[in-house]
Amino acid sequence: PFEVLVVGGGPGGVAASIYTARKGFRTGIAAERFGGQLNDTLGIENLPGTEYTEGPKLTTNLEQQVKAQDAIDLMNLATASKLVPATQPGGMHEVHMENGAVLKARSLILSTGARWRALGVPGEQDYRNKGVAYCPHCDGPLFKGKSVAVIGGGNSGVEAAIDLAGIVGHVTLVEFDKELRADKVLQDKLRSMSNVDILVNAQTTEITGDGNRVNGLVYKDRASGDEHTVELEGVFVQIGLVPNTEWLKDSDIELSKHGEIVIDGKGATNLPGVFAAGDCTTVPYKQIVVAMGAGSKAALSAFDYLIRNEAV
Ligand code: FAD
């Protein structure tokens, strides 16, 4: 058994494991895909101390740092399917794996991340990182002065459109429903901006490109059934971030209505000895530096828990 088991090998989980290993705890990392969302990320320009890096390179750096710690046992391609929490403080939690193995630890740090909900239209996958983007904080500056669309008229879509309108040349917001669902104050702000068009009742049917980069999108006017094309250079898909917490549904861990693991300011969940960090939690703002900070915080909380609760 481990003293600490980290489930998830993205920036949050890795930061947590570095901290617990340096406290001398035998730490396991079980990760379905080491690096997490970093594997899908091209340029990263908002990680303080690193002017520019790329997701796969940062993943390699994290892996080297993990492997340099004797106290960490990295299990890649290891998918958790069930959590059985300890019955008393200091007891062993169990994480059941898809391959039938059962991993045990006195403290858990859950950092299984999230995934952007995809539109599922032709062109979206082909032009991912070539004009199709999911994170305005990350990729907005790459479209300075250009025309982009934001798909989705909920709070995240409208916030993204407001954010982008200050950076890019022109923003078209495309909403499937008859009206935007974002808070009124956000809608008012968006409508006050001169370089924004809002399309409602519009179903995006395709993202087009020239073979190298995005050059437009096609939408169907749901009232008339007519198809229209918008010429642009970028498409930000903002139809939801889904936490990877399906495997926790039958455990007693508290999840928000969006499926995020509910944590307090110390990264503690409702279950003693079970902590969580990063995009799978209720932490506001899902970013690499935020997940790393949360991971280190959860690790220090796990340390605090372990020194206060004798093994039973
Ligand atoms: P993740 O990175 O999602 O990692 C989750 C880990 O858990 C993975 O190892 C995954 O395989 C594993 N996992 C999931 N389910 C299970 C399971 N059941 N059992 C075991 N393991 C499991 N942020 C920035 O700050 N700057 C950027 O420039 C930037 N660009 C981005 C570009 C793209 C295309 C995307 C998708 C995201 C971008 N982000 C960026 C966001 C950033 O990647 C995330 O905020 C960050 O990776 C979250 O870290 P995490 O450790 O919480 O989760």
Kindly tell me the burial class for residue 236, based on how many C-beta atoms sit within 10 Å of its own C-beta (0-12, 13-18, 19 or more): buried
Is there an atom of ligand 1 within 6 Å of 244 CB? yes
Sheet of 202-209, strands arranged across: 202-209, 214-221, 227-231
88 lines ligand 1 (CB under 6 A): no
DSSP structure class, residue 265: T
Q: Are 76 and 33 in contact (CB under 8 A)?
A: yes
Structure tokens at 231: 């010429």
Nearest CA to ligand 1 atom 32: 41
Q: Could you tell which of 37, 61, 115, 237 is best to mutate to test the pocket of ligand 1, judged by most ligand atoms within 8 Å of the CB? A: 37
The tens digit of pLDDT for each residue in 181-211 reads 999 999 999 999 999 999 999 999 999 999 9
Q: Whose CA is nearest to atom 37 of ligand 1?
A: 37
192 is in an annotated binding site: no
Closest to 114 (Cα-Cα) out of 291, 245, 288, 268: 245
Instruction: State whether the beta carbon of 16 lies less than 6 angstroms from ligand 1.
Output: no
Contact 239 CB / ligand 1 (< 6 Å)? no
Burial class (CB in 10 A: 0-12, 13-18, 19+), 219: buried
Give the pLDDT confidence score for residue 312 in this predicted structure. 87
| In contact, 114 and 242? CB cutoff 8 Å | yes
Asked if 287 contacts 10 with a C-beta cutoff of 8 angstroms, the reply is no
Residue identifier of the C-alpha nearest atom 15 of ligand 1: 112
CA pair distance 147, 232, nearest whole angstrom: 5
Residue among 22, 114, 36 at smallest CA distance from 66: 22
**Residues belonging to the chain:** 312
Centroid of ligand 1 to alpha carbon of 287 (angstroms): 8
CB-CB contact of 164 with 148 (8 Å): yes
Q: pTM for this one?
A: 0.92
Q: Look at residue 17 in the predicted model and tell me its pLDDT.
A: 98
Residues 11/38, Cβ–Cβ less than 8 Å = yes
Q: Residue of the nearest CA to atom 13 in ligand 1? A: 112
Q: Is the CB of 116 under 6 A from ligand 1?
A: yes
How much distance in Å is there from the Cα of 89 to the middle of ligand 1?
30
Per-position pLDDT tens, the chain of length 312: 999 999 999 999 999 999 999 999 999 999 999 999 999 888 899 999 999 999 999 999 999 999 999 999 999 999 999 999 999 999 999 999 999 999 999 999 999 999 999 999 999 999 999 999 999 999 999 999 999 999 999 999 999 999 999 999 999 999 999 999 999 999 999 999 999 999 999 999 999 999 999 999 999 999 999 999 999 999 999 999 999 999 999 999 999 999 999 999 999 999 999 999 999 999 999 999 999 999 999 999 999 999 999 998
